[in-house]
Structure 1
Amino acid sequence: MMTEIPAVRGFIRMCTDGWEQGWHERNGGNLTYRMKPEEVEQCRPFFTAPREWNSMGVQADNLKSEYFITTGSGKFLRNVQDDPEHNIGIVEINDTGDSWRIVWGLENGARPTSEFPSHFMNHSVRKAATNGAYRVIYHAHTPSLIAMTYIMPLTARDFTRALWQSATECPVVFPGGVGVVPWMVPGGADIAMATSELMKKYDAAVWAHHGLFVSGPDYDITFGLMHTIEKAAQIYMLAITAGGGKIRQTITDDNLRAIAKEFGVELNEEFLN
């Protein structure tokens, strides 16, 4: 069965994990995975007759003829585990890198997530930036981080510092910091391009008043990045609320540098004083 193949099984589990965290109300959030060639071959016996090609409105040379597992547009992540064939699918990219077609799943006229252009462009950027190592793009509606976007300046420096100082593990998990995209209409080429510019530098981008967009080499690392950032945001919002808008003490810049030295990571110095 297709659902017993590790790449597909891991994809389904990540959808379920995100739902159980409360990040995917209704049809909120989406996930894509760029498959390894050997995973494509494992899945190929279960492919159905290819459907029509669909233009994305964006193009990437380094993703020509790749295959992606993707959640479906308008689909509820809570339903993926029970009915994967109707809620997720595998798409093939054409040899010019600008269109997709479904080769498995997304039955009864379903389509890839409406955010697929954003995912696609960010897969292209992260593949180039990591020499092909990064394969997962994940977007979720993380409530505490969304709340932060209503009260903080929408800058990478402000968000990175607040998150780094909210939990000791944060500078280790995302030493490069996080980018911030101002509010934009979701699902189109504009937000795809704006996010991909940030993802040239960062593993994560905050979407103001909307959620979080993260990337990573595998399901565990990518989900862990989302989880860590949202947990830090929750700690920050609890502290700022309990303190009446004031923080009495925090992790200092020297503390952050000490953490980086101990764990062998290089912090983005532009976010330190």
Structure 2
Amino acid sequence: MTKFADSKYVKALCDITFRSYDHGWDERNGGNVSLRLTAAELAEFDDLTEVKRTYDLGFDASELAGQYFLVTGSGRYFRNVIKRPELDSGLVKITADGSQAELYWGFEDGAKPTSEFPTHLMSHIARLKVDPNQRVVMHCHPTNFIALSFTQALDERKLSRLLWQMQAESLVVFPEGVGIIPYMTPGTNEIGAKTAAKMTDYRVVMWPHHGIFAVGADLDETFGLIETVEKAALIYSQIMAQGGQIKQRITDDQLKELAQAFGVEANPKFLA
């Protein structure tokens, strides 16, 4: 019998959640992640035949009808997922009418998907319209990136350019820059809609004074995207800690050379 608990998908989720916790991005029960899976990918597992319970989504997710998501649980700690994935994560399927998620595996102690799950689904919907390879939404609390939301203007162009100028990798990894929404109460459909609207143009969205939402084709890519953004923010924090006197920086011409060398298109609104 092939069990889903032993699958590469569960093992990958365990690895990425622990690495995120170990980086200091997911204190206590902070953070959540969802991985989209297809029925074909799950066909080999013999223990996914029974709907154990259902969850109301609170919005119309019918554009994802029939899609499966491996998602972390509400109130659960990332550091524990690796030890007890069957409790702290679950595999759900979106119903045909898009109003509910059906649980097929996990959440064995009665847990439910993260309170941010509707926001995840809204972002999946938005990204799939521009990227058919979209699979992952990840939310966490990178310290230095959050700190920028207190010290910098919440201006997408200015913040994106600052992060690009901190290291050569930034422009290559997120050439579209970073999206920003206003500060909003998390766990609501309102913040989900605002975030999803930004996902049309960006793979990284700042939640000021709170954290980051990032998307990608797989868990490693999404984790690496956040890692690169946070590294750039850390470099800036170190510059400020060393007195804040920037004596040289990556110029616009050098950023253009980077984009050309690596075959990426820098956001033309941010790099003339």
User: What TM-score bracket applies, with the shorter chain setting the length?
Assistant: over 0.9
Identity over the aligned pairs, expressed in percent?
Answer: 40
Task: Indicate the residue corresponding to 1:134 in structure 2.
Answer: 134
Could you tell me which of 21, 31, 34 is aligned with 2:33?
A: 31
SS state at 1:53 partner: strand
Task: Indicate the residue corresponding to 2:204 in structure 1.
Answer: 204
Shift of 1:48: 6.5
CA deviation map 1:34-77 (0-9, x unaligned): 0033222134x123631343221222332011110000000001
Checking the alignment, whether the CA contact within 8 Å between 1:48 and 1:104 is kept in structure 2 is: no
Unaligned runs of at least 5 residues, structure 1: none
Aligned counterparts of 1:260 and 1:135: Cα–Cα separation in 2: 25
Task: Indicate the residue corresponding to 1:249 in structure 2.
Answer: 248
Task: Indicate the residue corresponding to 1:236 in structure 2.
Answer: 236
Checking the alignment, whether the CA contact within 8 Å between 1:10 and 1:219 is kept in structure 2 is: yes
Report how many residues are paired.
270
Read off the aligned partner of 1:24 and give its amino acid letter.
D
SS state at 2:93 partner: strand
Checking the alignment, whether the CA contact within 8 Å between 2:62 and 2:94 is kept in structure 1 is: no
Aligned counterparts of 1:28 and 1:84: Cα–Cα separation in 2: 16
Shift of 1:269: 1.2
Aligned counterparts of 2:130 and 2:190: Cα–Cα separation in 1: 21
Aligned counterparts of 2:229 and 2:8: Cα–Cα separation in 1: 26
CA deviation map 1:165-216 (0-9, x unaligned): 1110110001111101121111110110000000010011011001111000
Q: What pairs with 1:84-95 in structure 2 (closer than 5 Å)?
A: 84-95=85-96
Checking the alignment, whether the CA contact within 8 Å between 1:58 and 1:121 is kept in structure 2 is: no
Q: What pairs with 1:1-273 in structure 2 (closer than 5 Å)?
A: 1-43=3-45, 45-47=46-48, 49-130=50-131, 132-244=132-244, 246-273=245-272
Aligned counterparts of 2:47 and 2:65: Cα–Cα separation in 1: 22
SS state at 1:243 partner: coil
Read off the aligned partner of 1:213 and give its amino acid letter.
F
